[in-house]
Amino acid sequence: MHDIKAIRENPDAFDAALARRGDAPVTAQVLALDEARRAKISAAETAQADQNKASKLVGAAKAKGDEAEFERLRTLVSDKKAEVTAMQAEAKDLDAQLTDMLARIPNLPADDAPDGADEADNVEVNRWGDVPEFDFTAKEHFEIASVAASMDFETAAKTSGARFVMLKGALARVHRALAQFMIDTHVDHNGLTEYMTPVLVRDEAMYGTDKLPKFGDDSYQTTNGWWLIPTSEVTLTYSVAGDVLDEAALPRRMTAHTLCFRSEAGSAGRDTSGMLRQHQFEKVEMVSVTHPDQSDDEQKRMLRCAEDMLERLGVPYRTVILCTGDMGFGARRTFDIEAWLPGQYAYREISSVSTTGDFQARRMNARFKPADGGKPQFVHTLNGSGLAVGRCLIAVLENGQQADGSVKLPEVLAPYLGGKTTLGVDGTLS
């Protein structure tokens, strides 16, 4: 949500910031609706004052025995009451229209977000690891001999339809080990507090984290109104909705491993092979709630947490800062980490780390109380994948593949796999 006062004070700057995203100017429509709303509120207040004044005179007219004046004033009070009720209803409707309009306007990009139209204009800021060189043709994850029999798309399609997968045996254990490794690393090394959250949420939680009203088609809603979370960003971030936190309690750093659900409504025909783009997947999420002065540094910290995860796993990656035309709706600045996938001979996104500033905090009224006094201020919220478990599995499998179809697994997973480090051609661990 945006600060209407800031739009009133500098509409040109607001439209200029939206133009960097490639969006059309909106302040003329916003301010016209705001002016109509304020005018209706003012008129209702004037009518209310007239009603109150007339109400005081009714008794005096009655006491004087002036029946004509009494009836005139009583009719005036009744008319003003109806007028006030009607204008208040109109003001409420205009306020709802303004709120809905503001809720559909994306966040304004940070000054240092590079300008650009699409992903081709993203800027690489870091690269780690040597791209592996094989003396054989690298395969995609689902083609590797040790993987193929345990990554079952046909049975998943029989039970659930397209874009689902069933993992079994050792492969399912490797997937579970990756999630456990991520959570343990975030808790033991990165200082995050682990949560286990619901995967069903109310409208308010989706709205507060900017998933509604604009992106309802991208998520799944149950028949009784709950939403299946697209990521635990929703539950972790919304946990501070309506709160006034002590400044000393900031930053609040959280992590959770959950199932995630996305309809992929706008991705028809994209990444249909393998498990790169699924309707149901698992992710370890990071969320930070911070003081505004700390949020930029916190984003850098979160980015390093995600990058370090790939370094521990030995997966080559590159980091890009997204241009204004490629950023998500709620983001002010986003860094994407792209893991190297030998089977595709390309870097593919495995994590996004974003700061939303006070964009989400305004929507869910999350504030903090300054230590030196003063009125409560909005917190800043940040979120990042730490990491997407399925995509990380793909990266581990493809980078660790061997000529005989086995997969050499990262040493850091050995404690979670009974000390074993190889996925054999027969699909078992050794």
Q: Kindly give, in sequence order, each residue whose CB lies less than 8 Å from that of residue 97, ignoring residues fewer than 6 positions away.
A: 33
**CATH 1.10.287.40 is held by the domain 2-102:** yes
Give the global pTM.
0.93
pLDDT of amino acid 188? 98
Other CB atoms closer than 10 Å to residue 307's CB: what's the count? 21
Q: Helix (H, G, I), strand (E, B), or coil: what is residue 240?
A: coil
For the ranges 53-67, 214-228, 362-376, which has the lowest average pLDDT? 53-67
Confidence of residue 265 (pLDDT cuts 50, 70, 90): low
Q: How many CA atoms lie within 13 A of 252 on its CB side?
A: 20
Domain ranges across the chain:
2-102, 117-427
Q: Tell me the C-alpha distance between 215 and 44, whole Å.
A: 35
Fold of 117-427: BirA Bifunctional Protein; domain 2 (3.30.930)
Q: Which parts are annotated binding residues for L-serine?
A: 231-233, 262, 285, 383, 385
pLDDT of amino acid 47? 87
Among 137, 269, 252, CA closest to 192 = 252
Helix (H) or strand (E) holding 69: helix 67-103
Query: Residue 117 corresponds to which tokens in the numbers above?
Result: 């139209």
Buried b (16+ CB within 10 A) or exposed e, 34-53: beebbebbebbeebbebbee
Q: Using CA atoms of 402, 403, 406, 409 in order, give the dihedral in degrees to the nearest 10.
A: 0
Mean pLDDT of 169-191: 98
Q: Tell me the C-alpha distance between 285 and 193, whole Å.
A: 11
Mean pLDDT (the chain) is 95
Q: Which parts are annotated binding residues for ATP?
A: 262-264, 349-352
Q: Tell me the C-alpha distance between 212 and 418, whole Å.
A: 44
pLDDT of amino acid 172? 98
Listed in order, strand segments (DSSP E) in 356-405 are: 367-369, 377-378, 380-388
Mean pLDDT of 171-182: 98
Sign of CA dihedral 288, 17, 319, 341: positive
pLDDT of amino acid 382? 98
Does position 365 have pLDDT exceeding 80, yes or no?
Answer: yes
Omega before residue 213 within 30° of 0, cis: yes
Does position 56 have pLDDT exceeding 90, yes or no?
Answer: no
Mean pLDDT of 336-341: 98
**Distance (Å) of CA 217 to CA 190, 204, 275, 318, 322:** 35, 16, 21, 31, 24
Phi-psi region of 269 (alpha: psi -120 to 50; beta: other; left: phi over 0): left
pLDDT of amino acid 77? 77
Other CB atoms closer than 10 Å to residue 206's CB: what's the count? 22
pLDDT of amino acid 79? 83
* pLDDT single digits (tens) 401-414: 999 999 999 999 99
The distance in angstroms from the start CA to the end CA of the chain is: 53
Q: Tell me the C-alpha distance between 295 and 273, whole Å.
A: 38
pLDDT of amino acid 266? 60
Does position 156 have pLDDT exceeding 70, yes or no?
Answer: yes
In order, the DSSP letters of 83-128 are HHHHHHHHHHHHHHHHHHHHHTSPPPPPTTSPP-SSGGG-EEEEEE
For the ranges 47-56, 212-221, 376-385, which has the lowest average pLDDT? 47-56
Query: Residue 269 corresponds to which tokens in the numbers above?
Result: 């025909």
Find tokens 């050792």 and name the residue.
170
* pLDDT single digits (tens) 273-305: 789 999 999 999 999 999 999 999 999 999 999
For the ranges 64-73, 75-84, 203-212, which has the lowest average pLDDT? 64-73
Q: Which parts are annotated binding residues?
A: 231-233, 262-264, 285, 349-352, 383, 385
